[in-house]
Chains A and B, each alone.
Chain A
Amino acid sequence: MRHKKIQKWLSDRKDGELSEKRKKILEMHLERCVSCRSYGEDLERISEETERVKLPEVSSSYWEDFTHRLKAKISSIPEEERKGKELLLRWRWALAAALSIFFVALGLLLHNTQDKTFQEVYLSSFEGSLYEIYQHLGSDPELEEAFNSILLASIAENVEIDRMNTYLDFYEDRHFWENFSEEEIDFLEAAIRKEEKL
């Protein structure tokens, strides 16, 4: 494991990428390790030989011709073709913006529709229905009067029921008397009559 690390460091050192601290550790290791030293020498040899590797050389006239050909090619490229990516990018933004606006508008529309529906339900249940009935009765005063009297009677009836429910005296409830003896009942009746007279 240590030798593998040292061999990696030898490669890093060749590229000038090894820290001073590691260089010292490396040197110390190489002094006593024959195999790593031998590997280092091989790398040195490869490096020297690599410097001698010559790629085919090209003349200056080649570069003049190269530039000339390239210039001719790029001059023939239509401007629209060059805008390809940017246009696509712009369209992408435009599409994103349009979609955002659409969804915001849709959200607002749904929100408003929901509110309106609620109001409509509310109005048609109470004020709305009354308003509509009066619209129909408006042309006939007799019918309107009859409707009003029915409506008032209905309200009065409701009020009476409410009053009865609310103001019922405890002794009017028959269940109140069920658990008393005869003597107790007589006593209570006498007490109630006496109080009513007062």
Chain B
Amino acid sequence: MEKDMDGPGDDLLVKQAKEGDVEAFSELARRFQQRIHHAILALTGNLQDADDLTQETFMQAYTTLKSFKQQASFFTWLYRIAVNLTLNFLKRKKKEKMKEAFSENLSLELNSEASVHSPEQNSLKKELSTKLKEAIDFLPLPYRVSFVLVVFQGMTHGEAARILRCSENTVSWRMHKARKILQAKLKPYLKEGRDET
């Protein structure tokens, strides 16, 4: 049983939580809630949605904890729940999103036309940051999830693959494709930035 400086190890807490120890589960939640929330927030881009989905993640983890066979780490298992819930949530919102995407892409095109020719480099920098956020939000879901886990959560391809239940090679290709899309979308802004430096 693993133990660390901050108290009992995850395995022990999981065992206690399985037996119905609410305190033990609350401690597990305290340990992982910020990272889970951060990943969900990066995927949804909305604080309220992130809050709801993080709560739902822990609720589901608590109710199904007895089925957790501890073959993977609790952290990986928890992430799987969070990613699945978030993906389902985003798919449900897909129609709405597509409508938004259409209008925002339209404005992106119009703005990019204007900004490329803008003489103000500071506004270009700001614009790049904004456009990057938008471009990440509009990445296809499998690419976005991989990108968030690897870039924002600092995971290795192997760790992301275990959560997404796919091969490392798949994560590697998704990362490459995601970067290709981002580079294509941000090309005008990147060019300006390079000229500036």
Q: Is there an interface contact between B42 and A55, defined as CB atoms closer than 8 Å? A: yes
Partner of B59, one of A46, A63, A73: A73
Tell me, yes or no, whether A17 is within 8 Å of chain B by CB: yes
Interface size on A, residues (CB 8 A): 40
Q: Is there an interface contact between B26 and A43, defined as CB atoms closer than 8 Å? A: no
Q: Is there an interface contact between B132 and A70, defined as CB atoms closer than 8 Å? A: no
Partner of A79, one of B20, B41, B129, B190: B20
Q: Is there an interface contact between B179 and A11, defined as CB atoms closer than 8 Å? A: yes
Stretch binding the partner chain, chosen from B5-13, B72-80, B108-116, B149-157:
B149-157
Known: A17-B156, A63-B33, A82-B62. A74 touches B25 (CB 8 A): yes
Q: A71 vs B33: C-alpha distance in the bound complex, in angstroms?
A: 13
Q: Is there an interface contact between A85 and B66, defined as CB atoms closer than 8 Å? A: yes
How many B residues are at the interface, by size bracket? Answer: 35 or more
Residues of B within 8 A of A52 (CB): 129
Residues of A within 8 A of B128 (CB): 49
Residues of A within 8 A of B182 (CB): 46
Q: Is there an interface contact between A70 and B176, defined as CB atoms closer than 8 Å? A: no
Tell me, yes or no, whether A84 is within 8 Å of chain B by CB: yes
Q: A11 vs B150: C-alpha distance in the bound complex, in angstroms?
A: 11
Tell me, yes or no, whether A42 is within 8 Å of chain B by CB: yes
Residues of A within 8 A of B22 (CB): 71, 74-75
Residues of B within 8 A of A86 (CB): 66-67
Q: Binary interface profile of A, 48-60, with partner B (CB < 8 Å = 1, else 0)? A: 0110110110100
